[in-house]
Amino acid sequence: MLTRKQHELICFINDRLNDTGVSPSFEEMKEALDLKSKSGVHRLISALEERGFIRRLANRARALEVIKMPERGETRSAPAAKAPVEDNVVALAPRVREPANDVLEIPLHGRIAAGTPIEALEGSSMLPVPAALLGAGEHYALEVAGDSMVEAGILDGDYALIRKTESARDGEIVVALIDEAEATLKFFRKEGSMVRLDPANRDYSPQRYAPGQVRIQGKLAGLLRRY
């Protein structure tokens, strides 16, 4: 059994999936249900998920799949007056839908060393990436070469998904451009007046540079691995 608002939301999501193959954004759901904030959408989605009517999908854009749908013996119309969230329950019958799978293409800029620095490469090829792996901001991808980050789960041949930024905090994994010529993927640390780039492999030593030698070009946002 669903409340009126839950019923309206699941029907709206299902209609959008049927029309576009992609579930609506939280902002679109908020506006469609005339809610005051996105927190109300989160509560409704959590309730639908707990009752087994929808589920969130890992590595999928907006991560929603409809598992069950209400029977539609009559045409659903928007209510003239908004009822309280807990009023007017609706009976459901199971109906399976295909999940959304939104994919974005981001620039693939060559190979980056996870061992010793190599020359940074710029390329024009694009890499398709599940949109759910990417957050806000502008992103690009680099193919990892080397094994110095294996203890952080970053392997040779992986695609590092990088969010563009020019700043980083201690302990973050960054793309560091060294002397405007070579790039490397490492943990970023400040060590006194120096910048230290740490590997994640005990067989490699940290690299130390003067701040003027190092320019941050992005932070690791995710990994894509092909088998």
Active site residues per annotation: 148, 186
- Say if pTM beats, i.e. exceeds, 0.95: no
Residue 85 has pLDDT above 60, yes or no: no
Fold assignment, 4-94: Arc Repressor Mutant, subunit A (1.10.10)
Nearest to 44 by CA among 94, 76, 83, 4: 4
% pLDDT > 70, the chain: 77
Residue 176 has pLDDT above 80, yes or no: yes
| Sequence spans of domains, the chain | 4-94, 103-224
Rounded to whole angstroms, what are the CA distances from 137 to 163, 164, 219? 6, 7, 11
Contact in structure between 64 and 45 (CB atoms under 8 Å):
yes
Arithmetic mean of pLDDT, 80-89: 42
Fold assignment, 103-224: Umud Fragment, subunit A (2.10.109)
Residue 154 or 181, more confident: 154
Indicate the pLDDT class of residue 70, thresholds 50, 70 and 90: low
> Degrees (nearest 5) of the Cα angle 100, 57, 218?
95
Backbone angles phi, psi at 36, to 5 degrees: -80, -25
Per-residue pLDDT at 209: 95
> Degrees (nearest 5) of the Cα angle 159, 179, 189?
65
Q: Could you report the per-residue pLDDT of 192-205, keeping only the tens digit for each?
A: 999 999 999 999 99
